[in-house]
Structure 1
Amino acid sequence: MKMNHHFSELPGSYLFSEVAKRVAAHRAARPEQGIISLGIGDVTRPLCRPVVAALAEACFEQGRAETFHGYGEEQGDLFLRQAIAGHYAGLGVRVEPEDLFISDGAKSDLAGLSELFSPGCTVLLQDPVYPAYRDASLLAGRRVEYLDAVRENGFLPLPEPGCRADLVYLCSPGNPTGAVYSREQLAAWVAWANAQGAVLVFDAAYEAFIADPALPHSIYSVPGSETCAIEVCSFSKTAGFTGTRCGYTAVPRTLQREGLNLHDMWLRRQTTKTNGVSYPVQRGAAAVFTAEGQAACRENIALYRRNAQCLAACLEELGIWFCGGENSPYLWLECPDGMDSWQFFDHLLQGAGVVGTPGSGFGKNGEGYFRLTAFGAEADTAEAVRRILRLYGR
């Protein structure tokens, strides 16, 4: 028997599993203290009415012989791919429905895309990094290299001279730092990737939170990206689909390496490993792009932005350095009083009953930092701020 010993290369537990373990222990020890979570990036606003109505109608369709839907189209139903292409057009970006693939969420595709590359390929990640990129690459036995994302470069590293890699993961707005690449910075990555023959996987899960009109929502706003970039996005944070599960990935038909077409490869991979997303969920996702759906999504995002402003004001009052929160639902702060990431996690949990995410869980450069999310309920976020201020004598 030959086991996959690459599992031993992973950290002892998944970051958010360790957070949950510590929270459960604290809750058992202090049941009287209500806990407010500003840690895991799960949303709190429910699905909007147009989405719920579309889900319900599609379920009724499935219950009638004359409207029943069995297996759908391999890439996802055309009505949803056309709606997504229309969304891109509204951003000033051209993405054809034929280049889009519907999935059960961004995380699955972000992990699965590495299967298009040989086991011996080199994967380049930023540090700190969303752990799923790292863990999926290590599990597949791939060589992983890191670029330092630090305060000096605004947590937005660019390709360094002599840098070599086959596959690069970029996330903008960034998780965990909230930093957003400019169009000029993305252009530098695109030029590098085309020159090196590398492929960029661009995680745009938080693009709807970008408020600055000068910042790009898609890597396809950069000329030349169609020959080097794959873009992954999700309905989770935009429309509250964390429990409903739906996302999409754009793989341009113009993207080729070593005589192979990555679009065709991804289509073959998907048809081998999945039968796609359920018809009702796809109908619900399409409703996100109606006028009513977009208005409801903007309302929810506005609430999360108010939460971010509330948290930012708290950190400013306490004199704690932070970034993010303006074009991102995440605030990335420096742990006060010289505490390391897990020390501050315990300090906040025990002293205020507030949960965040230790920066060290995102990589070595995350040590000494901490992530707060704006995805909580508005009243809970306000209460968390009161508790934190009280913890520091304010």
Structure 2
Amino acid sequence: MKNSLLIVIATTLALSACNPDVADNTDPATGSKNGLPVETNPPNSTYQPAFAGQTRIAGVQTTSRYEARVLNRALTSPWGITALPDGRLLVTEKAGTMRIVTAAGELSGPIQGLPRVNAAGQGGLLGLRVDPDFANNRMVYWVFSEPLAEGNVTAVAKGRLAADETRIEGATVIYRATPAYNGTAHYGGRIVFDQAGNLLISTGERSDLATRPQAQSLTSGLGKVIRITKEGVPASGNPLASQTGTRPEIYSYGHRNPQGLAIHPVTGDVWESEHGPRGGDELNRVQPGANYGWPTITYGIEYSGQRVGEGIQQREGLEQPVYYWDPVVSPSGMTFYSSNRIPEWQNNLFIGALSGMHIVRLVIENNRVVGEERLLASEGQRFRDITQGTDGGLYAITDQGRLYRIDRE
């Protein structure tokens, strides 16, 4: 009897270890035990960082036991994820659908009533958030690539999730990052609420040489972080509102393709990540009215191998990134971890990496990155967005259609 019980226990443990839907932190590739940088490939250029620790910081490795469980594999190119107050999740899919996913991974049908998107290239239904007072007003806010007669724009819309949760009622576009352009790249597309209840939205500079300079233009909505009210008007106290000839909604500028926005849970600071070209992916702490340099300064080079512009990395009056990656990891959606379920992760920043195919964990102290870890690097997934659920776990979506829950064992 005793031997039979041991056999059952061993078999159960073996089956659990082989479960393809569960990964744990036993993979040595997820971090560095000896403090060496996690990046071992050569950079694309000979550019040097502006200060120690700006890139290839020492690796760290989580010591707490955690697991990553695949809750669903049936999403179609999911792009944005956010938590509902009851613990369920609201997810956008690139082609233009929005769905609800339960904590057990059960997927709703498509929610109707959304405006049409242009899903070509990098466009589609992008980032989303629910109103801080969603429990009472059921309002949802989202970013999408809107097709107009004169071209495509990064647009922001809002609407009310109906009581039966099958449709969005009264969908209304509240902001458009003009001018429109007939390209299908670099929409940006993240959205968050700041601590004052205003919306922060990231917009891309639309990629092409013809539109790049607009990241530096204060009369353009391209290549910016903008700050607006729930009604879509410039928020009170915006840094450039008093300057003649500037767009009063601009909060910061000089951005390339910012696909990550997050609010620090302690300081309330705005943090942003953006794609560089070949090299030069950036993490920035966004200061009101600051210029983050693209395309004047960058730690990346053109895809052709040529330098970008003058090939410089510093210029007076232009902000340096807190951190950059070369080679790129293609940072997308991100969130700060405020839960106490894994204490060593508290206030760490987690970023979905697309080409990097992992989740970046950054330890940040005094607004500087002091450690980096690569989570789920063996999963072979392009991580598009990550958020913290109401239960304190992390939820991540991938381009290949997976939804992960990451939490302590």
Normalising by structure 1, we get a TM-score of 0.27
Higher relative contact order (CA 8 A, sep 6+): 1
Higher fraction of helix? 1
Higher fraction of strand? 2
Normalising by structure 2, we get a TM-score of 0.26
